[in-house]
Structure 1
Amino acid sequence: MKLHLLKLLPLLLVCAGVQQLAAQTYTPVAVTGFNNDIVAESGTSSLAVTTTPLDLSFYLLYSVNFATANSISGGIPDNGLLTNGNRTYQLAPYDAPNGLYLSDAGHVPNTAVSGTLALATPAAFSKLSLLLFSTEGSSVVGATLHFTDGTWADAGNVHVDDWFNGANAIVSGVGRIARKATPPYLVDGMSGNNPRFYRFDVPMACKNQPKLLDSIRLNYISGGDTSSRAVILAVAGVSYVPVSITADITPAICNNANGSIALSVTGGTPPLSYAWTSSPVQVKDTATGLAPGNYSCTILDVYGCATTYRGTVPKKTAAVLTATASKDSLCAGSSATLTASATGPVSNYSWQPGSGNANTVTVSPGATTSYIVSAVDTLGCTISDTVKVTVTPVPAAPEAGAVTACADSTAILAVQNATAAYTYHWYTTAAGGTVAGTGNTFTAPGATTDATYYVEAANGSCISPRISVAVSRLTQVAVPVVTATQITPNSVIFVWQPVPGATGYQVSVNGSAYVAPTSGRAGTTHQVTGVSLAEGVTINVIALGGEICQNSAPGNTTAKLLNQDIFIPNAFTPNNDGHNDIFRAQGNIITGQEMKIFNQWGELIFATSELSRGWDGTSNGKRQPMGVYVYTIRLKLADGKETVRKGTINLLRP
């Protein structure tokens, strides 16, 4: 019977907090990743049912079942459940790896320098705790938390005491035995309340508590000496429960401080603390004596994690006042009617700005204005509402200059100093009509007649007056009338009268390229020299306008050059038959003459200095007889020279 009492003693120590089960906070967290079986659970060979000893003395742990089978005391519970107060840890099954065995650089047999305990089901925790111990002296172990969202957090390092005689043990007095093939077994340490297991409470930052924990990475940092090692047995945690808040709000009457907000908070880790933004600060879950307005409350759980509630205490009135405008957007100079309507009886209407005291007013604001209307309800509360009337400036009439354009060509009309915020509309009528174009410029189509277009500026729906923009069509200048003067055998001068509106002239001789006249671009004469074309010289003259399209059609004429030959007949027949009736010198280079005719006795019978006259066979009106006569003719030529021709002429009569 004594033996059985000894067997139950460690269990009683572990379960000392059985009366506090209802208050447990830490619950077991199922993990995988253990690298050794360190608990003998059945049979008589602790060697056969484990994979490694835990210290240099080849000690390891054993279960109550193994203790019963081998008639020894102590042992850890067969179900692997270890509880102390509000903490419960669940060891892994004893017939599989159930301890993460670590050492410096992993040089101790069967150990590793680090290992990962993966959660069977990722979960969120507000607190996390590891059950662990060290052998052959103390150890330092570090932990890193890895979450399912890919983030991680450094959980810090912990100093782990040796499983013998360490302080602050959470489980103790379970005994240990040597790892060997056959009994008998000698229980070691129970009399000194050994071996001992310790806790490593991992800090959980508030930002990490809502995250799903995926795994815990454990690293061996250092030990008391090179033989020191650490053993991690189990993980427990406090599940994260997000804070949920519902609020019961009591409105404040009028603008009085008689409203309240009562919070009902679930989740989080109690006890909770409260801090309201009221003045003075209130620290309970219900804030009272609140005037209408916005409030917030910061709620801290036991771990210092904050949740903020924000709410509004409304103003309670007997009626709600609503202000509307017949037009909420006006062009400057226009007016709108403002109307206030209430859901219940009200009195004492008042409009600001202004001095209206009825439920409707007419306003003509010069700029955008917010109007406030107020009234008093049956509770005596002053209620109000605001309506905004937006005023848009009316643009000034735009400026656009008249343009000139060639006939049948387009013309670009443009607004001068256009305002980027405005839209410009072009019309073909002074009022009404449809928009012909939109933009700072407008392209008028080609036409042969003058036209007038109209443009206005639009600032939203506010329109300026229209202005007219004239398009004048350019016309051709008159065709020059060209004549030829001073014709010589190898030169000629062409002249024309000035053409009204012409800016100059260009000439083309016998189809050559157009050039300026020899008298200059604005001259009205052109001399052609150095030619000897018997058929003549043809000239085209164009009068130039201000634009190319104003150039005239060519005015032209042809001048036949003078022949340099002089012909004097040796006989003539003055019988009035229209053929060879007059004796004269012939040649188109003759510009003047002095003719004298003598009979056979040397008497002068005819003389003339008129170029157009010749001898008709008479002398002083009397017909002269047939015969031979003598002539002397002094000729003046086109080049200014003179020549004298002498000879005889036969006068023949039928």
Structure 2
Amino acid sequence: MLRFNRLFIYLCVLFIPNIATAQTAGFLAPDTVCVNEPINLQNTSTGVTNYLWNFCSGTVYSAPQLVNLGNPGGNFKDPVFSAIAKEGNNYYVFVVNNTDPDLIRLDFGNSLLNTPVATRLLNLVPPSGEGIQIVQDATGWHAIIVGGTVAQGSRIVRVDFGASLANNAPSVTNWGNRGNMAYPTDLYIFQEGGRYYGFTNNFENSTITRLDFGTDFSNPPTGFNMGNFSGLMNRPSGIFAVQENANWYLLVTNEGSNKLVRLNFGTSLLNNTPVAVDLGNPGNAFNHPRDISVVKECGQTMAVVVNGVLNGTPSISRLNFAGGVAGTPSGTDLGNPGSTLAFPASISSVFRVDNELYAFIPNVQNGTMSRVAFRSCSDASIPNATTATPPAFHYTRPGHYTVNLITDEGTPFQQNFCKNIVVVDPPAVSLGTDIIVCNGATVNLNAGGGFSRYSWSTGANTQQISVTTSGLYDVTVDNGGCTATDQIQVTFNNILVINPVTTDIDCTHPTGTATIGVAGGTAPYRYTLDNGTETTGNVFSGLAQGNHTISVRDAVGCITTETFVINVDNTKIIRFTASGQNPTCFGLQDGTISALVTQGIPPFQFALGTQPFQTQPDFTGLAGGTYKIYARNGVCLDSQMVTLVTPAQVAGTVAALDEMCDNGNGSARITITGGTAPYDILWSDGTSNTTLTGLSAGDYSVTVSDVNGCGSTTDFSIANNRTDRVRIINNDTTINIGDEIILRAENAPDYVWEPIDGGLSSLTGAITTARPVRDTRYIVRTLTGTNCVTSDTVNVTLTYNRSFQMPTAFSPNRDGVNDLFRPKSQGLVVFHMLIYNRWGQLLHQTADHRKGWDGKFNNVIADIGTYIYVVEYGFWDDTGKIVIEKKQGSFTLIR
């Protein structure tokens, strides 16, 4: 089976046929090493004379470097796909322009790294040309090109160069549409059983077509459309076939769903029912994926993907197929290094020059070509060697590296052998700082996860161990090639002992005191009394009678707890309570205070402030204020503070509503504060309710009193309020169905409009917009206004004229004439319009038929040309239902 163009270039550069089978190139190397660890390679080659070792060969793991090659000779116009070919010692790259019928040939001479010479080959590319492959059969060299939207006529063409690709006047044959192609983009051609076949992906109907060319490319191919594979294809954009372990796989990127789909064909790409596997968006590395190129090297399968869309965010991504192409890939978004990519449409086959990998990427948006390079690294201590036994070397940074051996370079016996080495950082293990813990505790030592082996000084080989005795502990860890060791001292603390010393409550000590003594543990200590706030002081005062709990924590964190008691000496104490009765009314002095002894030995005496002591515990005739009461016996003196509160003065606050429009509808409501409830109310008309109604303009009064007989009188007045009526400014009018009218009202603080189904933009406010669907009477009312007339009406009558017409062109040049693309219509009630460019990209959408499209996309006027509109619109019919219609077509943007 033969793969042309993309994989062919990579293989023909990388591998040389083995003419002398007695000679073999090979060596043994570790799979994984540490940073700066010496590496000794064991050469297993036989029959070899000369050696060239490269210890840091370029791979797809390397960071990509992109260089923009520009537009050679100004020949690129929306370049999309390219094909690499070698004839003799000359390398060519053929580039298809999507919007130009001429094929561009780039002559690189003897190296694809040279500056190319561009030649324009006239009228060879189909409209909207896309994928290209260069093939050779018995009749000579050919370029097979696919392209064309369904509207333009999808097709496949053959370009005949004859004996040499340097032919400047090739001929072209249009083979038409084969296998229900619908805007075919990428193209893959292969050979099996003496016949040539091909695959192409159809962007517009999301299917795959297989082509059968026969034994050569003389006749038009037959086509077989393989379908959509259960809906997994969504605007397929790029394809690549890979053979692995005798099985064939076709990888398909899908621009529409940002997914990769793998078709498992088994042993033959001619299998009509391959198994489709949805690989999703690996690592979210896809963002409008356009094409994929696979690299198989040193037993690994990698792929490079380009992402892009017009005016989008272009990028390049890397896929790693763990275990081969049949495995699940991981993805990495590598960004846009150097910002050279601009809507990259495809990526060529990956090719090697010396120790570095390259590929070409056409950029549609700026009409240029980028070249991506995965260069050899500089992280090896020795870059290369030429001896049979290479010297020891090491890598200075972690990563994936490739060692490449070329034997007998430049001779018919040249061979290649390579091996990947993973370099990791030395492991870092930390058991932390030395530990002092409480006696009787258990300490868990953790060396951390992620290591392949553990070795403790205790003989354990687990990640964690538990220790209960003091000592020095160490651990050695291994991460699969490197080791590291750490140790820690663990000390178990002495037992804490608490000794509280207390002072009880008596006449000279109104509260208890405790001094906490501590022995053992590790100073300094911290103390917590009765689950309160921790402190550094060991003396606690102001303690109440009863049991108390003290907790002590030492510097290690060990905690012990004790309970102590504060007692009361009843023979050396007096305690009493004092209560008061407030004055009954504001300004009166009829308050009282009474004392009651609760603890102590009689006889007792009592005093109010500085007044003489007396045997009676009661004090009367007191005004509002704060008083100090004393009680004593033969041993102690105690005091209490009592506050008597003077009641607030009884007051009535009247809230009056004026009479409206001479209707005798005034009212008054009284709110009472101060004094002591319940209250009595007496209005000037003799009534006693909290609200007085039916009032005309005039003067009134109200008297209030509380349960203690405290009271006051309030005078108030009622006025007569005459306010103009609420009015709608509009007169009765007639409009067409679907049109709007602005309604305005005045003379009120607030407005409510009706009916609620009258197509009103707002049901509140002085101004609202009405869009009725039937003859409607609109009513406006005020909710809080004091107008004598609180509502008004206006009638809106409908006509039923209906029309809809889309223009065929517009000129958004801001001259005030035809600047917007929008319909001409009457009676329109539903509208939604989508605008697309010829790529099928959505540029604009709107639901407002009056605004339309101003010709801008991302605030930039779009190019002159043809665009597509899709419109959904509707009218009210005579029964009041909306009738929806759809329309689509094209129009022209001119200037």
> Normalising by the residue count of structure 2, what TM-score does the alignment of the two structures yield?
0.22
